[in-house]
Structure 1
Amino acid sequence: MNAVLSAAALALSGMLLSSQLNAEPKRPECIAPAKPGGGFDITCKLAQMGLRDEGLLKSPIRVTYMPGGIGAVAYNAVVAQRPKDAGLITAWSSGSLLNLAQGKFGRYDEKAVRWLAAVGTDYGAVTVRADSPFRTLDDLIAALKKDPSGTVIGAGGTVGSQDWMQVALLARSAGVDPKALRYVAFEGGGEPITALLGGHVQAITSGIGETVVQRDAGKVRILAVMSDERLPGGLANVPTAKESGLDVSWPIIRGFYMGPQVSDEDYNWWKQQFDVLLASDTFGKLREQRDLLPFSMTGDELKDYVYKQVAQYKSLADEFGLIQ
């Protein structure tokens, strides 16, 4: 009897293994919905390296770039053109959810895709060039109070985007009208940094992970991070906006979604790989190297989180008159 049970268990195990192998995509791809160098790029490459290093994918993930509307072009392309693509995952961030809340992704809402995994969290930050006269966030705020349009602030995204919202919340908290600011919009997180280094803007807001490399190279100074408390490790010397009396916190969750018609088998295969990856100490170190903090969520738990966040962002956008 035991031999029969053992044989049955081995057969079942073999069937499960075969099913998993059949579900593994032959040409996995990650879309970064912006130009190279920003947070979406970081997110895709984190999955690319993590899944490879853990041996969870036989074929390496190919990263492709699809800029436009801070995720809108990619979102529409996945839903309308590649809804069943089992090998495709697409990077998203809290900024994607904010845009969805404002209807910036066209006719598709947050229920149009399958939310797969959240792999880490970043925080909003205010950054200037290393030679900037603004030594602290207080210096920048004082200049904005004196002349709101006298300092050019750059960020990835138009009015209503995540990076604009960071500026708007800081300004509002300091008693400055956000509409009076001189704001320059760029596509993605890489372009504002280039503009800052070139002297075309005097300050930028972004995810802190997008500016750390330039800070470590001595080219920029991070004035403040928008977290409740100072971040650990190499960022511990960066003050929070709250230390300047500005009650602003902006976490930036990063993760992946899939097309709406991807089969349960294929979706669950990817979910299993991310569940294993997110529990890995090696991946934790990889995430830390990119200045992301732990935030691990997959499947239905993530879907519920996304729906709740979009509802909260709708309320916030309404406060700023962004929803018509």
Structure 2
Amino acid sequence: MSFISRSRHVLAAAVVAAVVPLSAAVAFEPTNPECIAPANPGGGWDFTCRQAGKALYDLKLVPQPIQVSNMTGGSGGVAFAHIVSKRNDDDNVIVAASSATSTRLAQGAFPGMNKDQVNWLGSVGADYGVIAVSKDSPIKTLPELMDKIKADPTSISVAGGSAVGGWDHLKVLNTARKAGIENLRQIKYVPFEGGGEAVTQLLGGHVQAFSGDISEAKGFVDSGDIKVLAVLAPERLPGEFGKFPTATEQGIPAVGANWRGFYGPGGMSDEAQKYWADSLRTMYDSPEWQKIMENNGLMPLKLYGDEFEAFVAEQIKDTEDLSREIGLIK
């Protein structure tokens, strides 16, 4: 090999050596990362954004603290439309989602939009539903509440953090159906923008019962402001949540698990999509997140990327079938 050839060979090797580290160095990292919670502070979406955002930063999975933006309206519809129409290619934003999101998509409640317009990134646990009353309520058990609704549907208003036909509403309807109540349309459900606001209305005496999830109710349970009549789980939850009876053990076999997770813009880059999904997976496996799950009654649900997208699609199909059965959609 001539001197010139050797020189070219060495130069080429040097260029490759220089380029490879540079490629690794420019791998995607978010700048000014943001999590949108599609409801007021205090609800489940807000909980998901704030807890996951803190954990991601504490674990050094994101380079900066994640800003949480509360964007209320349309039971998640305003946030969904905002991402689809205004931030479709923003790699720095994720949005908290749950069974309430798949429910509204199933019922066509986000006009002109569908599940394929966003990227489903991953789940961070499942949150079982609860039916609760204020601490001063004379109602002690779930059958007592259902009996009052059966006797006089106008005497009981149930508040929830989703719209009419949303997840919190469906939990009430399904529980009532399992309790033998036939005219489900007579049940008075009052929607609010988030579980925190719904509980506030309960404590103010404006409604008589609350339909939500363990993570939403926990703070109010700890403060002694509400009492849980039933957890909508197949069996009692572990740890401190084991003190709450299930609907099933009270003779009403109603089960309602609210998955919690995140989606991103539909035009998000492949690198960003992988980054967020991998970061959520690593967070989920950490002792820090497992402790958060334990403290807030979240049950295991670990799905990412294509698996999570298939799961959401199935949830939408199942909810569409139930909604049609009880006359919420045609």
Q: TM-score of the superposition, structure 2-length normalised?
A: 0.92
Quick one: which amino acid aligns to residue 43 of structure 1? Answer: T
Contact 2:214 2:296 (C-alpha < 8 Å) held by counterparts: no
Partner of 2:204: 198
- In the alignment, the residues of structure 2 paired with residue 285 and residue 8 of structure 1 have an alpha-carbon distance, to the nearest angstrom, of 47
1:244 deviation in Å?
A: 1.8
Contact 1:116 1:258 (C-alpha < 8 Å) held by counterparts: yes
Residue in structure 2 matching 1:165, options 154, 167, 170 = 170
1:102 deviation in Å?
A: 0.5
Contact 2:43 2:161 (C-alpha < 8 Å) held by counterparts: no
- In the alignment, the residues of structure 2 paired with residue 10 and residue 243 of structure 1 have an alpha-carbon distance, to the nearest angstrom, of 66
Q: Secondary structure at the match of 1:212?
A: helix
Partner of 2:78: 73
- In the alignment, the residues of structure 1 paired with residue 230 and residue 259 of structure 2 have an alpha-carbon distance, to the nearest angstrom, of 18
Return closer, same or farther for 1:13/1:281 CA change in 2, 3 Å cut-off: farther
Partner of 2:126: 121
1:211 aligns with 2:217: yes
1:16 deviation in Å?
A: 6.1
- In the alignment, the residues of structure 1 paired with residue 208 and residue 218 of structure 2 have an alpha-carbon distance, to the nearest angstrom, of 17
Partner of 1:111: 116
1:298 aligns with 2:304: yes
1:117 deviation in Å?
A: 1.1
1:42 aligns with 2:47: yes
Superimposed CA distance per residue, residues 157-201 of structure 1 (whole angstroms, 9 cap, x where no aligned partner): 232110110111111112222211222121111111000111111
Partner of 2:319: 313
Partner of 1:4: none
- In the alignment, the residues of structure 2 paired with residue 138 and residue 79 of structure 1 have an alpha-carbon distance, to the nearest angstrom, of 43
1:17 deviation in Å?
A: 3.9
1:232 aligns with 2:238: yes
Quick one: which amino acid aligns to residue 145 of structure 2? Answer: L
- In the alignment, the residues of structure 2 paired with residue 27 and residue 227 of structure 1 have an alpha-carbon distance, to the nearest angstrom, of 38
Superimposed CA distance per residue, residues 237-271 of structure 1 (whole angstroms, 9 cap, x where no aligned partner): 11111112212111000010000111101111112
Return closer, same or farther for 1:57/1:109 CA change in 2, 3 Å cut-off: same
Contact 2:94 2:264 (C-alpha < 8 Å) held by counterparts: yes
Q: Secondary structure at the match of 1:211?
A: helix
Return closer, same or farther for 1:10/1:238 CA change in 2, 3 Å cut-off: farther
- In the alignment, the residues of structure 2 paired with residue 311 and residue 184 of structure 1 have an alpha-carbon distance, to the nearest angstrom, of 25
Contact 2:164 2:190 (C-alpha < 8 Å) held by counterparts: no
Quick one: which amino acid aligns to residue 230 of structure 1? Answer: R
Which piece of structure 1 moves more, 285-294 or 120-129? 285-294
Gaps of 5+ in 1: 1-6
Gaps of 5+ in 2: 1-13
- In the alignment, the residues of structure 2 paired with residue 16 and residue 247 of structure 1 have an alpha-carbon distance, to the nearest angstrom, of 55
Quick one: which amino acid aligns to residue 119 of structure 1? Answer: V
Off by >4 Å, runs of 4+ in structure 1: 7-13
- In the alignment, the residues of structure 2 paired with residue 304 and residue 261 of structure 1 have an alpha-carbon distance, to the nearest angstrom, of 19
Residue in structure 2 matching 1:135, options 127, 140, 156 = 140
Q: Secondary structure at the match of 2:310?
A: helix
Q: Secondary structure at the match of 2:72?
A: coil
- In the alignment, the residues of structure 2 paired with residue 310 and residue 14 of structure 1 have an alpha-carbon distance, to the nearest angstrom, of 44
Contact 2:126 2:257 (C-alpha < 8 Å) held by counterparts: yes
Return closer, same or farther for 1:76/1:131 CA change in 2, 3 Å cut-off: same
Partner of 1:271: 277
Quick one: which amino acid aligns to residue 192 of structure 2? Answer: F
Q: TM-score of the superposition, structure 1-length normalised?
A: 0.93
Contact 1:50 1:286 (C-alpha < 8 Å) held by counterparts: no
1:258 aligns with 2:282: no
Partner of 2:7: none
Backbone CA RMSD of aligned residues: 1.8
Count the aligned residue pairs.
316
Quick one: which amino acid aligns to residue 285 of structure 1? Answer: K
Partner of 1:175: 180
- In the alignment, the residues of structure 1 paired with residue 133 and residue 16 of structure 2 have an alpha-carbon distance, to the nearest angstrom, of 61
1:73 deviation in Å?
A: 0.7
Q: Secondary structure at the match of 1:143?
A: helix
- In the alignment, the residues of structure 1 paired with residue 201 and residue 170 of structure 2 have an alpha-carbon distance, to the nearest angstrom, of 19
Residue in structure 2 matching 1:185, options 188, 191, 196 = 191
Q: Secondary structure at the match of 1:74?
A: helix
